[in-house]
Chain A
Amino acid sequence: MTRNEKKVFVLSVVFGAVLCVPQNAFAMHIMEGYLPPLHCVFWGAVCIPFLAGGVISIRHTIQRRRKALLLLAMAGAFIFVISSLKIPSVTGSCSHMTGTGLAAILFGPVAASVLGIIVLVFQAVLLAHGGLTSLGANTFSMAIAGPLLSWGLYKLGKKCRIPRLANIFIAATLGDLFTYCVTSLQLALANPSVEGGNAASAVKFLGVFAPTQLPLAVIEGILTMLIILGLESYAEPELREIGFLEEI
């Protein structure tokens, strides 16, 4: 990072922590108006440093790795497609996937957070899906926590020499599931159960989201794997440039 960029980054952290003004509030799956204002502000503030880091990381990609721009656009588009498809699941209700695993594996979790928030804003403003007040909480679950886990698992798997495709599949699947676990926790924190408190209601929310999401997470894992398989065949120079194929 240049000095200027560092300054901007630090400022953004201070801005988030002190002012707690979630201008970038985002929403994935928590419904508009369902979190108390204090929670909205808190989750929004948590997201700000990640988003600032993501903008810086994407700027670097644009300046220094022009070739990789196409991949970045495709990773963003993947989130668009995947998160717009509502798929029936075994529990008799529908849900959709997050698609942020691909961006996290290719470009790292902070870049993925920016791509994720674009989709969340689109859905919150135009589709009344999620909401502007819960934007911060939803950004945290879908665009930060999920990608962070995917990326961490992928790096770990690479060290343990898990075959690459299997590794990608596992990372993307669990990243998707984790998003919904975080959503459950966020809802539980806002709605403690009368008997049992937060923990009891966390279990209840997980009971709603987890079984529905499990098959979808598997689908997301498979699709992410397929996209990367395709990119490996046709976009070798780009993957080398972003360091994805360095080891070969």
Chain B
Amino acid sequence: MRNKTKIVVLSLVLVLLLAVVPLFVLKGAAFGGSDDAGSQMVEQIRGEAYEPWFTPVLEQVIGGELPGEIESLLFCVQTGIGVGVIAYGFGYLVARKKYSKAEKE
């Protein structure tokens, strides 16, 4: 394998391991957001419940917390937009390199 390919494969394996291993090692962990852990820490440090003085605009409009499924939908939309642009970019660049080489020959 070429040197570059080796780096790419190794890095991808490492990323997968880092992301997936905690899920299997820490069975039964809640995996809540660290933002929530932050709010709990605020309460612990203050020694009293903290009442946020402003609620998110969206929650005011729909009158409650955003349903979990909708939240993951919106996160997926965000990912989708990003992946679309990156894939378009790389598709364009790879094809350009391929065909400009073909023309020169």
Residues of A that sit less than 8 Å from B by CB: 29-34, 37, 70-71, 73-74, 76-95, 119, 122-129, 131-133, 165, 187, 191, 193-194, 201, 204-205, 208-209, 212-213, 215-216, 218-219, 222-223, 225-227, 229-231, 233-235
In the complex, whether B31 has a CB less than 8 A from a CB of chain A is yes
CA distance A231 to B93 in the complex (A): 8
CA distance A122 to B77 in the complex (A): 11
CA distance A132 to B96 in the complex (A): 42
Check if A131 sits within 8 Å of B54, measured CB to CB.
yes
In the complex, whether B63 has a CB less than 8 A from a CB of chain A is no
**Closest beta carbon of chain A to B87's beta carbon, Å:** 9
Please tell me which one of the listed residues A33, A132, A133, A208 contacts residue B38 in the complex, with CB atoms under 8 A apart.
A208
Please tell me which one of the listed residues B11, B41, B75, B94 contacts residue A205 in the complex, with CB atoms under 8 A apart.
B41
In the complex, whether B102 has a CB less than 8 A from a CB of chain A is no
Query: Which A residues touch B75, using CB under 8 A?
Result: 84, 86, 127
Please tell me which one of the listed residues A30, A71, A126, A218 contacts residue B74 in the complex, with CB atoms under 8 A apart.
A126
Please tell me which one of the listed residues B22, B35, B78, B90 contacts residue A80 in the complex, with CB atoms under 8 A apart.
B78
In the complex, whether B66 has a CB less than 8 A from a CB of chain A is yes
Check if A223 sits within 8 Å of B29, measured CB to CB.
no
Residues of B that sit less than 8 Å from A by CB: 4, 7-8, 11-12, 14-15, 18-19, 22-23, 25-26, 29-39, 41-42, 44-47, 50, 52-59, 65-66, 71, 74-76, 78-79, 81-86, 89-90, 92-94, 96-97
Query: Which B residues touch A84, using CB under 8 A?
Result: 75-76, 78-79, 82
A-B contact pairs, 26 of them (CB 8 A): A29-B38, A34-B50, A34-B52, A37-B53, A70-B89, A73-B89, A74-B86, A77-B89, A79-B82, A81-B86, A84-B78, A88-B19, A88-B22, A88-B29, A90-B22, A92-B29, A92-B31, A94-B31, A94-B34, A95-B33, A127-B71, A129-B35, A133-B54, A194-B46, A219-B18, A234-B94
CA distance A187 to B43 in the complex (A): 12
What would 20 more interface pairs be, CB under 8 Å, given A71-B89, A74-B90?
A29-B34, A31-B35, A31-B39, A33-B53, A33-B55, A34-B39, A34-B42, A80-B78, A83-B78, A84-B82, A126-B58, A127-B58, A127-B71, A187-B38, A194-B45, A201-B45, A204-B45, A209-B34, A212-B34, A226-B11
Query: Which A residues touch B57, using CB under 8 A?
Result: 125, 132
Query: Which B residues touch A82, using CB under 8 A?
Result: 82
CA distance A235 to B86 in the complex (A): 13
Check if A32 sits within 8 Å of B85, measured CB to CB.
no
CA distance A81 to B77 in the complex (A): 10
Query: Given A32-B54, A128-B59, do A80 and B34 touch, yes or no (CB 8 Å)?
Result: no
